[in-house]
Amino acid sequence: MAVNSIPNQNIPNPEAAEAWACEQAVCLTRDLGFRCAIVEGDAQMVIRKMCTTDDKSEIRSIVSNVHETARVFDNLSFSFVRRSQNAAAHAIAKEGRSFQAQMVWIVEAPLEIEAVVARDRWWVDPPD
């Protein structure tokens, strides 16, 4: 697990924020040396746009950057997950508002985030 929180107050709307977060996830994954990855997001329209090369929306430059970065991967895919199954992303965003600079955690995350990830994981794969 890796967690990345980057403050950015120059994002014009929620769709652009979700697209930018997706781009940052792809860049972090690349920088960590992964060759295969699945990027999950709860903004269905953004995930759809990341899966196409024919985007003409206002986030097209971000989508284009993601596609350019994706060339270094053997396999990079995008998957929509419901917000109820993606609470960790929202907890990270909320926690990230308190930081003045980029924060990256590898393997570990703040305890509050790890607790949310554990709940997300249980939602996907409940114990017997």
Q: What is the pLDDT of residues 82-97, one digit of tens each?
A: 877 777 777 776 766 6
Q: How many domains does the chain have?
A: 1
Phi then psi for residue 79, to 5 deg, are -135, 130
Q: Which domain holds residue 43?
A: 2-124
Q: For all residues of the chain together, what is the average pLDDT?
A: 80
CA atoms within 13 A on the CB side of 5: 19
For residue 85, give the nearest of 128, 122, 39, 111 by alpha carbon: 122
What three-state secondary structure class fits 12?
coil
pTM value surpassing 0.85:
no
pLDDT of residue 112: 72
123 pLDDT higher than 70: no
CATH number for 82: 3.30.420.10
In sequence order, the 6+-apart residues with CB closer than 8 A to the CB of 76 are 26, 29, 36, 37, 38, 39, 70
Angstrom distance (rounded) from CA 39 to CA 69: 13
pLDDT, one tens digit per residue, over 27-54 is: 989 999 999 998 888 889 999 999 887 7
